[in-house]
A = this chain, B = another copy of it.
Amino acid sequence: MGEFELIGRLFQPLADATRTPGTLLGPGDDCAIQRVPAGQDLVFSVDTLVEGVHFPFQYDAALLGWRALAVAVSDLAAMGAEPVCYTLALTLPEIQEAWVSGLVSGLQEASLAFGIGLAGGDTTRGPLTITVQVHGTVPTGQALRRNGAQPGDLIAVTGPLGGAAAALKWLDSPGDDTNRPFLECYHRPVPQLVLGQKLRGIASAGIDISDGLAADLGHILNASGVAGVVQTDSIPRQYGTVESSLAQALYGGDDYQLCVTVPAQQWNELPETLTRQLYRIGHICEGKGLQLERSDGTRESLAPGTGYDHFRTRG
């Protein structure tokens, strides 16, 4: 089966089933065509997942489809954007129709869940790699950026952390069943789209936690030119049969919750729908870097850049 036949036969139904109104032309021409409504700006982000680096060898194709799209859409959530469409650049060692169908089913499930349509792509031969670029819209000037945190702002996260790191530990040494209940956190991340959109006009800065809380909060601090203090006891941890460890919650990647800063005044006026879903974990102050405050009041400074680095292997 040739490349074009494969694309047409397996991906076109996915594009048809997930198309959103602004996409005037989907896959099959030299370019896709997208209309961006007046008063909206386009936002976009690209993410590559490499076999053996970002997902295990022999990983289930449907899980990979969900995961690849969810991880990319999480960047739209972090900007407070509404998803619109995505492209898929897929590199495959060989064409196995059953595998591609599995990938398409995972992508389709995620596309429909997040309201985002397949608008174009490229299929090439080579080592297994999947690159997804997601496109969304935000009302002009309202995107949540990393550089708006101010001294006095509170730091919050949108959900429990460390579950994906606990799952990876289990995947690395599956003999021990303790971490098995965390697997869903790793296999089926859910981008915080609704919360991200609700936080527009409220949060002063936002990021999604892909590389670990310490690393990603560090990006907000660096971009904003401020320091942060986090109370380690207040970090919500994922509960499986046991809780994820503090180290997993702080340094583990792949959780895809949001970390935001909110001015103290705004925090006091938050609607209940938001307070129920935001975990306050610390505050912003003047200076540089991130400090961890333990329950006994002692503080520890974290070196910048602590966290997951794509140029180190997992394990």
Contact = CB atoms under 8 A, between A and B. Distances in A.
A155 B31 CA distance: 21
Interface stretch (A115-123, A181-189, A233-241, A244-252): A115-123
Nearest to A54: B124
A44 B87 contact: yes
B4 A146 contact: no
A126 B124 contact: no
B123 A310 contact: yes
A311 B95 contact: yes
Interface stretch (A62-70, A129-137, A272-280): A129-137
Interface in A185-238: 206-208, 223
Contact of A31 (B48, B75, B223): B75
- Quick one: copies of this chain in the complex? 2
Interface stretch (A21-29, A100-108, A160-168): A21-29
A293 interface: no
Nearest to A5: B305
A91 B223 CA distance: 25
Given A46-B133, A48-B89, A124 B53 contact: yes
Contacts of A25: 143, 145
A244 to B, nearest CB: 24
A222 to B, nearest CB: 9
A125 B34 contact: no
A4 B308 CA distance: 11
A31 B78 contact: yes
A5 B305 CA distance: 9
Interface of A: 2-5, 24-25, 28-36, 38, 41-54, 75-76, 78-79, 81, 87-89, 91, 95, 119-127, 129, 131, 133, 135-136, 138, 140, 143, 145-147, 206-208, 223, 305, 309-311, 313
26 contacts: A2-B311, A3-B310, A3-B311, A4-B309, A29-B146, A29-B223, A31-B43, A31-B45, A31-B136, A33-B42, A33-B138, A35-B42, A46-B88, A46-B89, A46-B121, A46-B133, A47-B89, A47-B122, A48-B89, A48-B124, A49-B124, A50-B125, A87-B133, A89-B131, A125-B313, A127-B127
